[in-house]
Amino acid sequence: MARVAFVVTTCHEFEGIKAVSATLKQHGHETDCFVTSEEKDFHGAVQDWGPDVLGIYATTGQENWCYGNIERWRRELPHLKVVMGGPHPSFENDVLLDEEYVDATIKGEAETALLDLVEAWAGNRSIEDIANVGVLRDGKPWQNPIRPIIQDLDTLPFPDVDIFYKYPFLRNKRVLQVHASRGCQNNCTYCTVPLMKKEWVSDRKKERFNRTKSVDYLCEEMRDILARYPNFRMVNFGDAALNMYRGWVDEFAAKWPKRVGLPFACNVNINYLNENDIVCLKKAGCVSVQFGLESGSEDVRLQVYKKGYTDEIVYRIPKLFKKHKITFRTNNMMGSPAESIDDMLETVRVNQRIKPDGCTVLIYRPFKSTVLGREDFEQGRVDLGKDIGPSLHFDSQLKREDVDRVVNLQKLFNVAVYLPGGLSLVEQMIRLPRNRAYEWVHLAFLWYQHAVVSGYGMADDLKLGLKNIGQIFGRLGGGTHGQRPTKNQFLETLDTGIDGSV
């Protein structure tokens, strides 16, 4: 039996950690999770719990936030092993070079791989050949091949919510987050999911990355959570799109209201959505949806981003949301190498035309886990010396001459969309130097959309903001160079559109 502690710096219930923790517990291991903002003495809490293994989930830019702690824990718990998983080490396992902090990485879905690793460490066996695991070999990061992924999500134990809901803030907030699926029908070039579909699967024939839980399993999972944590008033589905397979939403609409009955928000892929799906979503209790518009230019959307959303779809589907009284938010992306400022202003105009209840606006980031990002690195478009932390909210890492205007437009996007005459005003304002006032405007809109449009509740968002006030001021006040990644905590926590573009 081993004791495995997960550590996170974002105050959120992470589906991936819940999933791997549940499998470890099913096999008799002890697990816990420590969230920095929820612990008075984060370092001491982990140390007192006495883990044998420390697990870190990392997106790019987030990989080293707790190196300082690890250094001290290693002194106090000399047997401690550290493993990192999630998107960052799954696509680039250079963190293994930091061998004083990281002993192993896991690529892709980790339920059984982490179990094998933890048991090998507990039994003092070699970890060298465990599928999915990455280790340092002859001083170089090495990646073992991937094992087949779990095809039937219903065979997994219910995600382990207890390690997050032990915290009063997380269990007493209005909205709980769950996932009904993994994968996505689309293959957008700026998103990590398409490369997960290729690189997080083994070579086994007919292996599918796009999977849904059955409606029955999902309803039982929810009933299990609500029996122990009854205070939630709404559900947010973290999936790329709830309409992954035709027919699933029909069954969901028939069963969810009776068995669970909570209203919910979700992402949808509008190129796979028809009016019947929208009617089913409404019947099931959907109050708010989001979809990634990303660019107002149909050419960019179709030819460069491979998003599959034609202008016809972009103008038709929102009318159906309005007809069936479901509020909707668009996710938009500023500053990709494919777009000029004029294209980005076109994104403003398309939003003005389709009139979403809210617009989330992120800055394009070249990830090595995306098709477009890999091209950016190959073509030398990335400013390698620029540290922008993990967030997609603050700055651009591309070498663009107009980078300040891009960042200013992202911050003022909602003013341009919603204020009468706002677009021409913003066209002038983006020429001014970057400044903190624009950042506050961005934050205010984000807050409003998250709390009000998507129904998360002003009170919860205010509490979250107050918890992390230091981080907000630190980041917004301090520019972007050389910041510790933890400074982004508050904005990472806000659901910025849980489309894969998050």
Single out the residue of 37, 47, 59, 112 in contact with ligand B12 (rule: CB under 6 A): 59
> Cα(382)–Cα(365) distance, rounded to whole angstroms?
9
CA distance to 84, 194, 436, 442, per residue, from 413 (Å): 36, 28, 15, 8
Answer yes or no whether residue 269 interacts with ligand SF4 by CB under 6 A.
yes
Answer yes or no whether residue 265 interacts with ligand SF4 by CB under 6 A.
no
The token pair at 23 is 């499998």
Tell me, residue by residue from 210 to 249, as one string, x for binding to ligand B12 by CB under 6 A and - for no binding.
----------------------------x-x---------
> Cα(131)–Cα(116) distance, rounded to whole angstroms?
9
Tell me, residue by residue from 286 to 315, as one string, x for binding to ligand SF4 by CB under 6 A and - for no binding.
------x-----------------------
Answer yes or no whether residue 240 interacts with ligand SF4 by CB under 6 A.
yes
The footprint of ligand SF4 on this chain (CB under 6 A) covers a number of residues equal to 13
Q: 10 Å Cβ neighbour count for 232?
A: 19
Among 354, 362, 373, smallest CA distance to 304 is for 373
Contacted entry of ligand B12, ligand SF4, none for residue 269, CB cut-off 5 to 8 Å set by kind: ligand SF4
The token pair at 271 is 């190129």
Neighbour order of strands in the sheet with 175-178: 175-178, 234-237, 264-267, 286-294, 327-334, 358-363
Of 10 and 37, CB closest to ligand B12: 10
Contacted entry of ligand B12, ligand SF4, none for residue 57, CB cut-off 5 to 8 Å set by kind: ligand B12
Contact assessment for residue 15 and residue 179, using Cβ atoms and an 8 Å cutoff: yes
Contacted entry of ligand B12, ligand SF4, none for residue 292, CB cut-off 5 to 8 Å set by kind: ligand SF4
CB of residue 229 to ligand B12, shortest distance in Å: 18
Answer yes or no whether residue 369 interacts with ligand B12 by CB under 6 A.
yes
Single out the residue of 2, 8, 20, 191 in contact with ligand SF4 (rule: CB under 6 A): 191
Give ∠ CA 65-69-73 in degrees, rounded to 5.
145
CA distance to 190, 310, 350, 360, per residue, from 301 (Å): 11, 8, 13, 17
Query: Which residues are 360's β-sheet partners?
Result: 331
> Cα(160)–Cα(150) distance, rounded to whole angstroms?
17
Task: Look at the block and give the residue holding tokens 């491979």.
Answer: 306
> Cα(500)–Cα(179) distance, rounded to whole angstroms?
13
CB of residue 56 to ligand B12, shortest distance in Å: 6
Of 184 and 278, CB closest to ligand SF4: 184
Q: What is the phi/psi pair of residue 273, to 5°?
A: -105, 135
Of 232 and 422, CB closest to ligand B12: 232
Answer yes or no whether residue 2 interacts with ligand B12 by CB under 6 A.
no
The footprint of ligand B12 on this chain (CB under 6 A) covers a number of residues equal to 46
Which residues make up the interface to ligand B12 (CB under 6 A)?
Answer: 10, 12, 14-17, 19-20, 55-57, 59-60, 62, 83, 85-88, 106, 109-111, 114, 179, 182, 191-193, 238, 240, 367, 369, 390-393, 491-493, 495-496, 498, 500-502
Binding interface with ligand SF4 (CB under 6 A)? 184, 186-188, 191, 193-194, 240, 269, 292, 499-501
